[in-house]
Structure 1
Amino acid sequence: MKFLKVIIAVAAIACTASVAQAQVVKKAAVTAAKKAQSQVSTRQQSFYEVPEPSDADLQWMKIVYREIDLTKGKNAALYYPEEPNEDGESLFYIIMRHVANGDISVYEWLDGREMFTDTYKYKISNMLDRFHILYAHAKGSTEKAPKYVIENADIPGSEVLSYYIIEKWEFDTRSNKMRSRVDAICPVLHREDEFGVVQKWPMFWV
């Protein structure tokens, strides 16, 4: 019996030591994970906090106009779903939601000579009227800060089959790297004219 008690005591001590060791290991692992997460966050923050380069920093720059065809399979993610659902919404619905809320400004399409200044800002109601998009004034809307309510059924998402984009390629002397960024994007409606021919109607730049 005495021998059995000794075995139980030794087993209890071993178990306690094992638990303590496991706790130490777990605590060390948690500390290491937090430290790694902190370091990653710091690196990410330092990456995103780099200010935009000035004209003096840009040794070379090229502006490229592109068209994104949403009928191509690789671009389908920008088109679907045709109407918002529990799985999400298309890029055009996202743009229109922010435009209607007054979160972003839109600029006139000027066919290759775009000017993103206050002079060429598009009045939202004029744009909606031009493309026959029904709307109502939202609660809290004012003349200086208009907001609109647009029903999903009245947003012509299925007709936006392409986008024009303005892309800038720049060589930054600070980092000695070439980089590209999208400077503006324009939804393009594909609608039939009175002769049944599908025409492209660029809507606005954002």
Structure 2
Amino acid sequence: MKRLFLTITIAICGLLTAVSVQAQETLRERIARRQNQQSADPQLSVRAQIKNQSQTQEIGNAPWMREIYRYLDLNKEKNAALYYPVTPIGSRSNLFTLIFNQLLAGNLTVYEYRIDGVEIFTDEYKRTAKDILDGFEILYREENGKFIVENVDMPSNEVLGYYIKEAWYFDKNNSVVDVKPLAICPVMFRQDDFGDGSTRYPMFWVPYENIRPYAARMPIMTSSLNNASTQTINDFFVKHNFEGEIYKATNVRDMSLAQLFPDVAERKKEEKKIESQLKQFNDSLWVVNDSIIAARAMATANNKKGKSKKATTGNASNSGGSVETPNRAAVQKEAQQQKSSPTRSMRNRNRN
């Protein structure tokens, strides 16, 4: 009887031990699974994600919109804030380092740059971090399913430009013309095999809204006279502080300016025309007050008066003559000539 009791006790203890071990293993697996999930998720708080969604500008119902493609040359002083520092210094890094690190961490989805330059954000054109690393021959090592690239191997010094797509649209809620960055593409420059030139290699497209939460937390220095980091990368784009030449405006035939205007001079002329059209549309939304027109006319008359004085000073001193000044009637006539037909705002047009 004692032997039977001892046998049952041993069996029960063994069963409890097995259940305990199984429970401990399950707990370990659960913790590991949660850690893997946390490392794969974007490193953004819920508050940051909500803020990013609230800053999204809806342009689908805009009554007027024009899509513009620009090339940002980082060799230009105005765009240098996106290039420096080439190697991260403390918490500061350049735009490409920011994008590339988030890509390696699995927080960004990038899309193929097609030969025609059109960005298509569908699963068919998605590209993984490994695709980019292998495609551009970037040195890396793989640890626990993650890709590690040392700072010295990161090609941030070779990314000397960006393609950016932006939408100029009429915000009917506020009756203003606004600009929204839509997508951005890093452009790498590499020396040719014979070393007699460099070739431009667009890397991938990224929807700007996916970058914005990280760009809004990355400070940059935008002035050599003020070394304080007073802006973020997101401020830099939203405030349109960059200098970029237009290489394409969305059109029916989906052709770039180089295809539409093979002649360089004609292409530059068309680029200036597009810039002027964007500005003119914005200016045409507002009514010019008569007092402003009169003030402009007065300023023009004063300028002419100053030039007339300067031109006739010598003759007046020699001959004893006097300089004729414009009378009030002349100023009013000048104002009437400069005054154009009243322009109604877009808000008034929509009401009619």
| TM-score, reference length from structure 1 | 0.69
1:89-126 deviations in whole A, cap 9, x for unaligned? 11111111100001010000013322111111112211
Which residue of 55, 59, 62 corresponds with 1:58? Answer: 62
Distance (whole Å) between structure 1 residues aligned to residue 56 and residue 93 of structure 2: 31
Residues 173 and 84 of structure 1: CA distance in aligned 2, closer, same or farther (over 3 Å)? same
For structure 1, which runs of at least 5 residues remain unmatched after alignment? Answer: 1-44, 142-146
Question: In the alignment, what sits opposite 2:126?
Answer: 121
Question: In the alignment, what sits opposite 1:135?
Answer: 140
Question: What stretches of structure 1 move > 4 A for 4+ residues in a row?
Answer: none
Say yes or no: does 1:107 pair with 2:111: yes
1:141-160 equivalence runs, <5 A: 141=145, 147-160=146-159
Distance (whole Å) between structure 2 residues aligned to residue 116 and residue 189 of structure 1: 21
One-letter amino acid of the counterpart of residue 200, structure 1: R
1:30-41 equivalence runs, <5 A: none
- Structure 1 contact 53–172 (Cα < 8 Å) conserved: no
Say yes or no: does 1:67 pair with 2:76: no
Residues 99 and 171 of structure 1: CA distance in aligned 2, closer, same or farther (over 3 Å)? same
1:1-206 equivalence runs, <5 A: 49=54, 52-53=57-58, 55=60, 57-86=61-90, 88-110=92-114, 111-139=116-144, 141=145, 147-196=146-195, 197-206=197-206
Identity of aligned residues (%): 43
Structure with greater Cα Rg:
2
- Structure 1 contact 191–199 (Cα < 8 Å) conserved: yes
Higher strand share: 1
One-letter amino acid of the counterpart of residue 115, structure 1: I
Distance (whole Å) between structure 1 residues aligned to residue 139 and residue 157 of structure 2: 16
Distance (whole Å) between structure 2 residues aligned to residue 50 and residue 59 of structure 1: 20
Higher helix share: 2
One-letter amino acid of the counterpart of residue 92, structure 1: F
- Structure 1 contact 167–180 (Cα < 8 Å) conserved: yes
Distance (whole Å) between structure 1 residues aligned to residue 59 and residue 83 of structure 2: 35
One-letter amino acid of the counterpart of residue 182, structure 2: D
- Structure 2 contact 185–204 (Cα < 8 Å) conserved: yes
| RMSD over aligned Cα atoms | 2.1
